[in-house]
Structure 1
């Protein structure tokens, strides 16, 4: 058979390529040993399995599940409009990035982590998320490859705070989860740069060294004065998986703390939606689709549903094409329907020109500010557009 997709994240398999012809039985053993439960095969290039569902059938089933879920779970309330929060969110995001950069650089130089540097940043970040999480989380998706580790750390911290808020946790729990999220990859400062930033696939030895960052994160944080067990769990368990196929300890199900399980979801979501030197980002909607698919094995399905409800099927900042041919950016989740958010349209795909910006509520009918629907998400790069400038 010809493997078309190993159906897992880049850091979850030992192969040089994700697409290849199976030539030996031992390769199947390596796939199983990596904890991979399902793969996609290309029947044009290799043997078929007649009883396996097609990619189209899987996609249709996922679409149905997502729509059913979205209609049954309205999003959480936002206290202010996104336009009113963006100014604060930009300042807070910039502040958090500088704080994380400083802390990680201190660790690289052999200095101790000083938690007093991070507490104010987490407080400001939490305040912004409680007012309107869409503003900050939309900024967290903007990354460049050179500063990925720092920006990814800020994103995971913000997403952890948001995830906790979605479950009604107390502010102190949100705060500690945010600290753990921001510092979850601190152990990467112990990994050589040539491995950390390697543009190609890691060798088996390099792969093993990279996975050691989780152990290093735990060691560093446990030696940090004033750190909580909650924050340590986030860092130490974000690569564990619900079925026991993760690392470093191979914990399974309830052996992983609730926040560790949440961190696993958040870390994968942000990695999938970020450009890296070895892979291109995928759209948030597609990332949620993959996480939902993987929740049968790697993640707690109930937690995945909570995460989807909070993020939205089309997260704030997503560029979408409407049935009318207009392109717009999602500016707010709708109070009653996750698949019909509020969209600011600003471009016509038919005339390939900008149009007068207008906010439409897709949950409303024709004549009531709606009368359109999302056909699919679009790539900003394809259209050379910056949807963030219309938030």
Structure 2
């Protein structure tokens, strides 16, 4: 029998058959699954589910007398505490936080550069120097998640290596926070992500940036940067297990076709599976000597298509929810023919963000900027998003029109 119950009534052993929400509104990949334990219930509650349907023939039914009332009381207390913590968090405007983030990116990039130069010179790599700046990055994401990661995505070609390290760290912090990870774990994730490519220092820079295909032997050399990086770090630094997992596993793939160990599925740690997603996303959205960047929305579509093969499908969905289908800073074309820049994301409606309209595509000329909330049925004369666009195609400066 199919029974609809409150998510707070779920118990281990029940079998869920309907979540009663659109798939874009949450990060749960499977639609039908057994409830493993109370932590599994907590995850569903944290995702914002209200009601679910269970199949009492495939799992447990509500018992005649159950501890649900006590569980509900505890859950209400937890929710109250969480809301109290959120209320204490400082609220900062996007413009102010972006100014702070710009300084923070510069500081972090300088530190990563120093560590890379130390590795190249055979000196000690003191990874602990990064811990204070990682802490500041976490604080920035907590204050306003739409500032640091979108700004870090804008890179200089000649500083890609260090700025990629900072950008992926910003992304994994936002990703981990969306997953509800505690701050100590976010610190370990971010530190490992900042250091994951330090093994490049042992490889000829021309090989790393050369246009065109690599030979099999050359690709093997490039792949060696993973273990080279860990060797450099282990010689001078004591890293946590989470940080080491990021360094070792960010090129592993869910289907077992990655490197260096060809791990598959849950053999890859959660940290490694998350790092693989942010590393690939940031690489795809960055200009490289051998290919131009693609738009964030196209990169997300490609990641989604590869969910279940290259990447953990549940984590891909969670990452889409983290950055939005149209991430902050994306240039989009509206039904009216106008172009706008995504300013804010609605977590409950990822397809209809807040945009700043800046350009008329048909007339190919700028218009007086106006902020439009595409989720509102009244006051939107521009329609919905038709496509994501490239700034370069329209001759528009991405730096000038980033949200402030």
> May I ask how many residue pairs the two structures share in their alignment?
324
Which one scores higher on RCO, CA 8 angstroms, separation ≥ 6?
A: 1
RMSD: 2.1
Q: 2:95 aligned to 72, 83, 87, which one?
A: 83
Matched with 2:23 is 69
SS state of the match for residue 339, structure 1?
strand
Whether the 8 Å CA contact 2:26–2:321 is kept in 1: the answer is no
In structure 2, stretches of 5+ residues that fail to align are 1-20, 28-45, 49-85
**Cα distance, 1:160 vs structure 2:** 1.4
Question: Shift in Å at residue 366 of structure 1?
Answer: 2.9
C-alpha displacement of 1:116: 3.1
CA distance in 2 between partners of 1:371 and 1:385 (Å)? 20
- Partner deviation per Cα, 1:106-155 (whole Å, 9 max, x = no partner): 11111111123211111111111111222111112212222211111111
The structural deviation recorded for 1:365 is 1.4
CA contact 1:240–1:246 (8 Å) conserved in 2: yes
2:364 aligned partner: 352
- The answer to whether the 8 A contact 1:181-1:235 is kept is yes
Residue matched to 2:390: 379
Kept after mapping to 2: 8 A contact 1:325/1:350: yes
Structure-2 residue corresponding to 1:268:
280
Q: Please tell me whether Structure 1 or Structure 2 has the larger radius of gyration of its CA atoms.
A: 2
Matching of residues 1-391 of structure 1 within 5 Å:
69-71=23-25, 79-367=91-379, 372-390=383-401, 391=403
Aligned to 2:65: none
Q: Tell me how far apart the structure 1 counterparts of residues 394 and 292 of structure 2 sit (CA, whole Å).
A: 17
What CA distance in whole angstroms lies between the structure 1 residues aligned with 2:342 and 2:186?
Answer: 26
Kept in 1: contact 2:193–2:243 (CA 8 A): yes
Rounded Cα–Cα distance in structure 2 between residues aligned with 1:340 and 1:70: 12
**Residue equivalent to 1:62:** none
C-alpha separation in 1, matches of 2:236 and 2:352: 45
Q: Specify the SS of the correspondent of 1:385.
A: coil
State the SS of the aligned residue for 1:332: strand
Q: 1:203 to 1:244 in 2, by over 3 A?
A: same
Task: Provide Cα deviations, 1:330-382, integer angstroms capped at 9, x if missing partner.
Answer: 01102430000000111111222111111110000133x56621110111001
Q: Indicate the residue corresponding to 1:24 in structure 2.
A: none
> Could you say if the C-alpha distance between residues 166 and 71 of structure 1 is closer, same or farther in structure 2, counting changes exceeding 3 Å?
closer
Shift in Å, 1:72: 5.5
Normalising to structure 1: TM-score of the pair? 0.79
Give distance in 2, aligned partners of 1:233 and 1:224. Answer: 17
The answer to whether the Cα contact below 8 Å between 1:361 and 1:370 also exists between their aligned partners in 2 is no
Shift in Å at residue 185 of structure 1? Answer: 0.3
